[in-house]
Amino acid sequence: MYEKDPVKIFVVEDDPAYTKFLNYVLGLNPDFEVEYFSTGKTFLSNLHKNPSIVTRYARLFITRHVRRIGA
């Protein structure tokens, strides 16, 4: 029987409640292999694993961008 490779999903999320929600929802699909990261740094250090999909919480990006421009 043909076995397809799992869809590797990386989730970058710093909110434990939202991570728990995503863990439940994404866990419903047996074809998904999900890894969670609470910081961008840990995500980047694991990027060599070549995820198929990356999702991140927008607040992480916005906060860093605002800090960078000094707003």
Which residues is 9 bridged to in the sheet? 34, 53
Q: Kindly report the backbone phi and psi dihedral angles of residue 47, in degrees, each rounded to the nearest multiple of 5, phi listed first.
A: -60, -20
> Element (H or E) spanning 7, and its range?
strand 7-12
pLDDT (tens digit per residue) in 58-71: 555 545 544 555 54
- Angle at CA of residue 44, ends 41 and 11, nearest 5°: 90
- The structure's pTM equals 0.73
pLDDT (tens digit per residue) in 21-61: 889 999 999 999 999 999 889 999 999 999 999 988 755 55
> Element (H or E) spanning 41, and its range?
helix 40-45
Residue type, 26: L
